[in-house]
Structure 1
Amino acid sequence: MSAVPPEVPPPLRIAFVPGVSPDTWARKWRERVRRVPLELLPIADADQLAVLRDGRADMALIRLPVAQDGVSVIPLYEEVPVVVVPTDHPVAAYDRVDVTDLSEEHLLQDPDEVPAWRRIATEVAAGTRHPVPALTLDQAIATVAAGTGIVIVPASLARLHHRKEVTTRPVTGVAPSGVGLAWLTERSDERTDYFIGIVRGRTANSSRSPVPGEPAPGPAPKPERRRTSPPRTRNGSRRTGRR
C-alpha cells in the first residue's frame, strides 16, 4: 500500500512596512523550505495590524510599539531617528544634533509623532503653530527640500525617500524606533513557528520546528539484537540447553 503524501500547507504571506527589508529572511526560507512558497506583501504603516486581522497576511514586519490585543510580537531591532533638513541648513554642519537644537524649527508632521520635540518646541509652547496638512513622507521630504520645515523619522525611511536637496543627521533625545515581527496568536502554526526560528537566527540544523510541508521523521529503527553462541565445553563442543 503506497504512503499518503503529506498535506502541503498554504503559502506563508509576510507583510512589511516601508523601510523594513525582509530579503535576508525570505532567502533563508526559500533555501530551507522547498514545499511551502513565501509571499512578500509591502504595506503602509497604517495597515500593519489590519493585514493580520483581515487575513491578507500571516505575519508582518512592523514598527513598534503597537497594541498587542491578540497579537504576538517579537522585537527585532531599533533604528536611530534622524532629522531631514535642506543641504544648506545649519544642522548640516554637525555630525549629530540634540532635539533641543531643533526647538525653533517647524515640524512637517503631527507633533504627537515626535513627543520629545513637541515638549520643547517654541511654536507649540507659544501657540503659534498652524495645522499642517496631511502629507505622505515623500511629500513632506519634498517640502523640506523647499526650505519650509523639517522631518524627524527612522533612518531607513529617510534613506527610502532621499532627495539630493536634503541631508540627514542623527538626533539624540528622541526615542529610537523599534521594528518587530507580529502575528495573530490564535493563528500560529508550523509555518509561523519555522519563520520565527529563521528570524531568531537558528540554522537549518538547530531549528526546533519541523520543516513545513515535509513529512515528519519516522521513529528511529531499533538496533538488532546480536545472537550469541552457546558457550563451548572443555572438549570444544558447544553446550546446549539439553542434558
Structure 2
Amino acid sequence: MTLRLRYVAGVTPARWLRVWDELRPDLPLEAIRVDEADQLTALAAGEADLAFVRLPVDGTGLHTVQLWDEIAVAVLPKEHPLADAESLALADLEGEPIAPQQPDPAMTIELVAAGTGHAVVPHSIARLHRRKDVVAVPVTDAPPTRIALVWPVDRDDADIQQFVGVVRGRGAKSSRTEGDAEPAIKPAKAAKLAAAERRAADAKAGTGKGAKGGKGKGAGKSAKSGRTAPRTGQGAKQRNRRRGR
C-alpha cells in the first residue's frame, strides 16, 4: 500500500516526505508534481489520496486545510526601467505590456525574458523558474494566492490525518481541528522578505559584505587560545623562589 500525493509547482514537500519516511516506513509516500490545471484531476480519478493545491479550487467533496499565502511578484526583463525597484504597486504596472500567459509558467517567464511584457506570478513560481535575464519584484497590493492541502471526504482515515499532522507540525497523534489554519503572512511583510531574499541572491553573485572577513570585533578573540598566559614580573619571581624554582 502507498499513500499517493500530488502537488503543484512552487510547493516543496521534501521536508514532510523525510519526516513521513521516518515516521511511517511501513507506508511509502508517492509524491508527484502536476500542472496547476490538473491539480485535482488525480484526486477526482481516485489516483491520489491528497494534494497540495493553489486556491481557489472547487472544494465540493473535499476536506481543505489552508496552509500559507504566497505573495505576488512582477517578473520583468532585467533591463526594464522598474527592475531595480524594491517593490511595486499595481498602479506602477498600468500600461505596461503583459506577456502572453502559457500553461507552463516557465514558458511565460521565458516570454518575459524575450521582451514581450511582464508577468505577475506567485513568488514561489518566480523562484522555481529563476533566470539571470529576469527579475522578480514584489507587488505589495496584488492579491496573494494560497496553498492548501486537500483530500476527499470519503478518504478521511487515520493515515490521512497522520500526514496532515506532519504537514501542520503537530504531533503524530494530533487530529485536524476545523478552522485550524496557519496565520497568513501579511503582503507588506512578505514583500520585505522577498526583497531581502533578492538582495541576498545579488550579494551572493557578487562580492557582498558577507565576503569580508578577519576584521570583525570577534576576529582577534577567535585567534586567541583559551589558555592562561604565563605570569611575569617581580611577583612571579617571588612566587617561583618560594616554590623552589
Asked if TM exceeds 0.5, the reply is yes
Q: Distance in 2 between matches of 1:145 and 1:202?
A: 42
The residue identity in structure 2 corresponding to 1:16 is Y
C-alpha deviation, 1:163, in angstroms? 1.4
Aligned pairs, how many?
175
1:208 is aligned to: 174
Unaligned runs of 5+ in 1: 1-9, 111-133, 210-243
Q: Distance in 2 between matches of 1:88 and 1:138?
A: 19
- 2:164 partner SS: helix
Q: Distance in 1 between matches of 2:26 and 2:84?
A: 54
Q: Distance in 2 between matches of 1:139 and 1:193?
A: 37
2:61 is aligned to: 70
Q: Distance in 2 between matches of 1:107 and 1:34?
A: 48
The residue identity in structure 1 corresponding to 2:54 is R
1:144 is aligned to: 112
2:221 is aligned to: none
Q: Larger Cα Rg: Structure 1 or Structure 2?
A: 1
TM superposition outliers: structure 1 runs of 4+ over 3 Å: none
1:125 is aligned to: none
The residue identity in structure 1 corresponding to 2:71 is V
The 1:135–1:45 alpha-carbon spacing in structure 2 relative to 1, beyond 3 Å, is closer
Q: Distance in 2 between matches of 1:23 and 1:136?
A: 22
Q: Distance in 2 between matches of 1:55 and 1:84?
A: 36
2:159 is aligned to: 191
2:81 is aligned to: 90
C-alpha deviation, 1:138, in angstroms? 1.6
- RMSD value, Cα: 1.4
Unaligned runs of 5+ in 2: 176-245
**Where do residues 1-243 of structure 1 align in structure 2 (5 Å cutoff)?**
10-109=1-100, 134=102, 136-204=104-172, 207-208=173-174
- 1:46 partner SS: helix
Q: TM-score, normalised by structure 1?
A: 0.69
Higher helix residue share: 2
C-alpha deviation, 1:159, in angstroms? 1.2
Q: Distance in 1 between matches of 2:114 and 2:27?
A: 48
Q: Distance in 1 between matches of 2:14 and 2:80?
A: 35
Contact 2:54 2:145 in 1 (8 A): yes
The 1:172–1:208 alpha-carbon spacing in structure 2 relative to 1, beyond 3 Å, is closer
C-alpha deviation, 1:92, in angstroms? 1.3
